[in-house]
Structure 1
Amino acid sequence: MNKRSPETTLIRDSGRGNEAAILNAALQAYGEKGFNGASMRDVARGANTSLSNLYNYFPSKSHLLAELLRRANSELLARTTAAIEAAGDDPVAKLRDAVKAYVGFVVDHQTAALVAISEVRYLTGEERSRVVDARDRTQSLFEQIVADGARTGVFATPYPKDAARSIVSLCSAISTWYRPGGRLSKKTLGEQHARYALALLEAPLTP
């Protein structure tokens, strides 16, 4: 797995020692080498800290991965929730802005988005459950919008829950192929995917 692009820093310094540097180094290592290929020594080297100090913060690679995905899910959820709340009551506007927010997150944090869909399989037990639950909260936002629109006749799809899941998958998959500097800007990519989502829901494609 290769790191795809320069992008917005996911973990910012909160004054908790080397934690932010460690998490960002872990994200880079997992993005470049995958969970299995990256070592705790790689992370310590990337964070410019000692291996023993790294273990003071995180006891294992899986703990690091779980915390990274928790942070990523938290930011994605916050962005999407804010976009939906600002869109008003119209399901079409809510869906369009939710998709744009999701796409914006993927473009800004492509490595984190890619790690989230490709490396979560390495988590087990309570760590995996917490990450999956957090991811499901974001999906539930889309499910609620689609359900409301289907109930009121704005969305004609007979498969609202399946359609919502497909929209989330469509957005997250951008992390696997997006290239910065290509023909699609973040704005254009968001608008296109909002249109794709509304077409999937058999909704009016108003500007």
Structure 2
Amino acid sequence: MNERSATTLIPETARGSEAAILNAALEAFGEKGFYGASMRDVARGAKTSLSNLYNYFPAKSDLLAALLRMANDELLNRIQEAVGAAGKRPADRMSAAVRAHVRFVVEHQVASLVALSEIRYLTGAVRKRVVAARDSTQGIYEELVAEGAAAGDFLTPYPDDAARNIVSMVSAISTWYRAGGRLNAEELGGQHARYALALLEAPLD
């Protein structure tokens, strides 16, 4: 693929800013995992002091929770916009959702991988908020599947499982994608849209 996966999630305005800290945390979590990365690693990556870092984020879990919420918000917005522009046909709307999701994973591979693998380190109310945000994204797929099933376009007898498996399939791209591979982001999105429609037993036309 020609695209490069970004290790920055949000634009940075200054050294030591909140954005710089979050991007440094993303890089550290992507490289070492949440458990292996330290607040000192994050401060070093953001080119700031530990005291300034703690002013923004008192705990490492606060950094992870903020990153996961921001990543999910961006993903949710992209999917909603794509679906809204796709027209009324259930197959077109599902295809648009999957394509937008795949492009997000390709463009923000590190954030997608961290979201997939490191959420287990969040607990309590913080975890519940992050899981609720993530569930809202899956909820779009569930609604799309329900629409297609009601219209008779999706024939799968397992709509809930199908929606969950589509999300899992696309999210898993973050674990194996490599820039410079055989397919570009658009082609990869088209491939996975076909996989999703096949899973839903929808007509491929």
TM-score (norm 2): 0.96
Shift of 1:88: 1.2
Q: Residue by residue, what CA displacement relative to the aligned partner does 1:129-154 show, whole Å, maximum 9, x if unpaired? A: 11100000110000000011011110
Range with bigger deviation, 7-16 or 128-137: 7-16
Runs of 4+ in structure 1 deviating by more than 4 angstroms, as ranges, are 14-17
Matched, 1:25 2:24: yes
State the secondary structure of the residue aligned to 2:177: coil
Which structure 2 segments of 5+ residues have no match?
Answer: none
2:169 corresponds to:
170
- Output the amino acid matched with 1:184: L
State the secondary structure of the residue aligned to 1:55: helix
Q: Is the 8 A contact 2:8 2:26 kept in 1?
A: no
- Output the amino acid matched with 2:175: T
Residues 70/167 of structure 1: CA separation in 2 closer, same or farther (3 Å cut): same
1:148 corresponds to:
147
Identity %: 68
| Cα distance between partner residues in 2 of 1:133 and 1:15 | 31
TM-score (norm 1): 0.95
- Output the amino acid matched with 1:155: F
Residues 16/66 of structure 1: CA separation in 2 closer, same or farther (3 Å cut): farther
| Cα distance between partner residues in 1 of 2:155 and 2:193 | 16
1:102 corresponds to:
101
| Cα distance between partner residues in 1 of 2:170 and 2:34 | 23
How many equivalent residue pairs?
Answer: 202
1:201 corresponds to:
200
Q: Is the 8 A contact 2:9 2:108 kept in 1?
A: yes
- Output the amino acid matched with 2:102: V
> What root-mean-square deviation, in Å, do the aligned CA atoms of Structure 1 and Structure 2 show?
1.4
State the secondary structure of the residue aligned to 1:13: coil
Q: Is the 8 A contact 2:6 2:107 kept in 1?
A: yes
2:137 corresponds to:
138
Alignment of 1:1-207 (within 5 A): 6-7=5-6, 9-13=8-12, 18-206=17-205
Q: Residue by residue, what CA displacement relative to the aligned partner does 1:150-178 show, whole Å, maximum 9, x if unpaired? A: 11110000011110000000000000000
Shift of 1:9: 3.0
- Output the amino acid matched with 1:75: E
| Cα distance between partner residues in 2 of 1:14 and 1:122 | 29
